[in-house]
Chain A
Amino acid sequence: MKRRNFFERVLLGAAALFAPRWARAQQMDQSMRELASVVLPGSLGRARIEQIAGDFLVWIRDYRAGAEIASGYGHPRTQVTGANPSEHYAGQLSALGSPVSREAVERAIAAAKVDRIPQRPNGRHVATDLLAFFFNSSEGEDFLYDAKIRRDDCRGLGDSAKRPEKFL
């Protein structure tokens, strides 16, 4: 076999192996952006909404099932994180169709019997998990209070006596 043929075959093999995964990731990315444009506040602006959708996908990717949970007082035993909440997201996103409509999201939330935005994404439904991800984030808090509190940043002591600037 000529060297060139050999490398072509290797590349084609690798593409066959990774293409479905890549295609699935692309599909998830697209669907998440569509969902975000329906469920997140439009006043954030399109660029921010897309960014949040992307951040949520990164959060899902980096989630570790079975990791020790932070335990303060009142938790004398070790607890661990549950399964990745995104396990059923692909199916849920697919069921919403494309383009994602508000009606489809409302029907899905009702079918999943979710009544409140959870404290953290819990896998009940991707739409409410995305809301949980945003509204419980530092950026979500800043957006609600319209102030750049930046709770996740190390901000120094110098400005702590001043009211934070407006967020929007």
Chain B
Amino acid sequence: MSEGIGARVLRKEDKRFITGKGRYTDDIVEANQAYAAFVRSPHAHARIIAIDTSAAMAIEGVETVLMGPELVADGIGNIICGWGVTSKDGSAMNMGAWSALATDKVRYVGDAVAIVVADSKSIAKLAAEAVVVTYEELPVVVGSVQALAKGAPQLHDNAPGNLIFDWEIGDLAPTDAALATAAHVTEMDITNNRLAPNPMEPRSAIATFNEAEDHYTLYTTSQNPHVARLVLSAFYNVAPEHKLRVIAPDVGGGFGSKIYIYPEEIACLWAAMKSGRSIKWTSDRTEAFLTDAHGRDHVTTAKIGFDKDGMIVGLKVDTKANLGAYMSLFSSAVPTYLYATLLSGQYNIANIYCNVQAVYTNTVPVDAYRGAGRPEACYVIERLMETAARQMGVDPSELRAKNFVTSFPHQTPVIMAYDSGDFAANQKQAQDAADVAGFAARKAEAASRGKLRGLGYSNYIEACGIAPSAAVGSLGAGVGLWESAEVRVNPVGTIEILTGSHSHGQGHETTFAQIVAERFGLPTENIQIVHGDTDKVQFGMGTYGSRSGAVGMSAIVKAMDKVEAKVKKIAAHVLEAGEDDIVIEGGAVKVAGTDKQMLWHEVGLAAYTAHNIPAGMEPGLKESAFYDPTNFTFPAGCYICEVEVDPDTGVTEVVQFVASDDFGTIINPMIVEGQVHGGIAQGIGQAMLENVVYDEAGQQLSASYMDYTMPRADDLPNYSVDHASTTCPGNPLGMKGCGEAGAIGSPPAVINAITDAIGNNNLSMPATPAAVWTALQDVRSKLAAE
């Protein structure tokens, strides 16, 4: 069976996971290892008056308790946001100071105040509780709208009114004019609920300092170990890059939350140097709710206008984005360049304007979570389209179809230039798979059982394969977003691929091997993927934004091009043929049209013995490449959700979920389907179950699995997943990316289905039974009143 591109190759990494031989950070034990626990603020907003560590230090087994002022005095820098967003008046964003350990104030429940180092985890936790911190409580604000109100409590002195930036995109006057003359306008208040990413492996770190070498090692649960090293070195002054090795071994899921460099890793590295002990810290689940960056949390009003023929004439969006107490690493980009640039959806819209105000509140910092800005954009445009169709009395799929972008490239008014797609093909495929034609009969049958059945669409488009370095640089990014790869052919012909991408569930050890197998005709078992260690891989920007295929694999392809060229030169030399006549097929390097050939490993050996290679050629067979994409990629698709609502209880069941995606070239359909399944599950979770809830005092009421509703097996349906793909013209393999689509496309499909079932467009996520029942009562009381 072929193991190349398009084959459903079973995963190479699975055996260690199914036999318990995975190696996650918390599984590792270093010599002389101590354990850290953090003293965290129980208040959402308070001034630190005094810290008394004497009782904690008196506990047997406590090594040290370290605090913020000492960290600052040692020159450890503040945590920064790496993407500068400029307000519409030209001013820079107002980034408040964020020290890894608080110095004077705490700004959310969970804010780290001190690190306790002890001989065991339980002693460390006990001692952390024995640290007595005297606080002066300050007024608290948790919602973005409230934080912008006059007289709201102020979080950071340099951000008056808690405003981080007031940003805009598009043209206001033409958009207002278009909406003013529109034949129909749909206006909605749309909230995108705050979520906790919840990878199943909690964050963990082990920091070691070698005094003799002045060298640090950090094991960490990271999606991008090189970025972690860069930031820890260049901004946090922990150690220069050549004196810091960062290893991200097996990582148990990320979903965005493991992109960032958090206070804990900084504090552990610093405390390792101060104490001379290796220090392990592993988050509890509640600690994860209190400290892992959250996602979403937008409050939006949006208006879309149509002419008399149902063609969109304008879209105007106003969004307040809650960024929490501090600006996390990419927090500013999420509600701006990853959000408003996708508001055009799959549609031709001549006039778009969006204003985004980013706001500080006394909550956990908010940053990218699976989809990052694009789910919020998709939710706005797809709720608007469905609702507008219902208000105008037209078929929601037809309203969408007549507004589809059909010629490419297509320049939207909000930066993005879509390169390819066939939105009608995805819609048709999804409609056929969902048997939309049979829906009326199913609805009637459900009614006979006393159930309300509804159907909802979501036609999503997103931008991933993040991203062209110069383009993101011009938009404020502090880093380039290329990827690097190295292809090492060993003397025996086996291959190691070193990649800057990081796999934490995506199956890179399999799919990356497949593209090498395809190119050189080798079995995947001869190919090893190496990633996640800054000492092994030269550099990498990591895995997020569905970039490992479109960007990471493209770097491998570039490096393979170089390997292939050298292989052909060696073979041509040995076989006394012209380079152009050499072909690589089925593990052999042949002179086309003859029986002359070298086996693949013979070329490898020839390169390393260097007894008979072309004059002047360097020995060895190892090439590296950096690939910088030329554009974003634009996965798109059509999702159709069908639900049944029990009108007596509001309990809603997703009875069918159909996806048709355009991901460009697919390397391994099995893995791609798995990515879509997981994304849809997170989207259904957002739409129906999940919600981070704060009370007015800033206490997170949903900070455990007893309180935050994680989707479970019996909450979810089977998914019908298929593909209608167009090739991406922007990268050598024609790939678009599949990691986030499910989470981006699914929430509006679910809510559109439920609102269809209950006959009330006014329903917010999560559509819990109580929320659905209440929305149904509203319809009933309206009907009763009429």
Q: Do A and B come from one complex?
A: no
Q: Which residues of B are in contact with A by a Cβ distance under 8 Å?
A: none
